[in-house]
């Protein structure tokens, strides 16, 4: 009889977006010892420990909703199942995969393909008012975020992004500040390309282009 002694976990980091595969040994998870997994950027991603009734408790930093989720599985599922999908409690979308190395890698490939297909479907439905302008605006905004040039005066580093057909809304998860960047025409793109940073003002809803008509929220 083949006794499975390790599993592979595929985790997306909710902070930097990096995907990593981690191996967990059965001998490293006990009643008094938990396995803790971190991203290379230092973000705590995953922990697993053994509890009563031969069950295992998992804590996951969800890459879909950026919240923490908890799961409980019996030992026979953890160590005998070929694949376990860890779903986001908020969106219902797979956030992590656990199981044999081969099956986890296949699940990640399928997930990436399905996400690309979903994005293509949205594009086919002409979700954006101007797809080309929106693509360039998003690229600029993401570059600023990656360079740590997007911040809020309240001091919070947890900055969110919401994409709409005609605009991008950058918001602070803590104080609720919002900055709106429009993405419909060349003028909008020129304004965005001239930005060297984006600073949200604590609790304030503002627009990069003052000439735009206010949006009713």
Predicted pLDDT of residue 197: 92
Please give the Cα distance from 99 to 9 (Å, whole number): 7
Residues shown for the chain: 217
Question: For the residues 102-121, what does the mean pLDDT come to?
Answer: 74
Q: Model-level pTM? A: 0.54
| 157 three-state secondary structure | coil
Predicted pLDDT of residue 215: 42
Q: Check whether 122 has a pLDDT greater than 70.
A: no
Contact 82, 106 (CB under 8 A): no
Query: For the segment 124-158, what is each residue's pLDDT rounded down to a tens digit?
Result: 555 788 888 988 898 888 888 878 889 999 988 77
Long-range contacts of 79-84 (CB under 8 A, 24+ apart): 79/4, 79/7, 79/26, 80/4, 83/107
Predicted pLDDT of residue 217: 40
Highest mean pLDDT among 47-51, 64-68, 122-126, 155-159: 47-51
Average pLDDT taken over every residue of the chain: 84
**Token duo for residue 14:** 């909710």
């Amino acid at each position: 009889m083949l006794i499975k002694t390790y599993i592979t976990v595929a985790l997306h980091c909710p902070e930097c977006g990096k995907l990593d595969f981690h191996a967990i040994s059965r001998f490293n998870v006990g009643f008094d010892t938990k396995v803790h997994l971190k991203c290379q950027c230092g973000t705590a991603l995953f922990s697993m420990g053994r509890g009563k009734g031969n069950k295992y408790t998992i804590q996951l930093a969800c890459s879909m909703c950026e919240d923490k989720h908890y799961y409980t599985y019996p030992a026979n599922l953890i160590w005998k199942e070929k694949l376990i999908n860890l779903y986001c409690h908020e969106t219902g979308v797979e956030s992590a995969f656990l199981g044999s190395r081969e099956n986890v890698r296949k699940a990640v490939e399928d997930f990436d393909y399905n996400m690309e297909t979903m994005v293509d479907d949205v594009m086919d439905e002409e979700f954006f008012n101007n797809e080309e302008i929106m693509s360039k605006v998003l690229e600029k905004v993401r570059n600023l975020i990656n360079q740590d040039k997007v911040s809020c005066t309240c001091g919070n580093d947890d900055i969110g992004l919401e994409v709409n057909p005609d605009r991008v809304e950058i918001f602070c998860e803590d104080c609720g500040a919002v900055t709106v960047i429009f993405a419909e025409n060349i003028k909008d793109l020129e304004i965005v390309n001239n930005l060297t940073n984006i600073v949200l003002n604590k609790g304030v809803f503002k627009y990069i282009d003052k000439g735009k008509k206010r949006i009713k929220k």
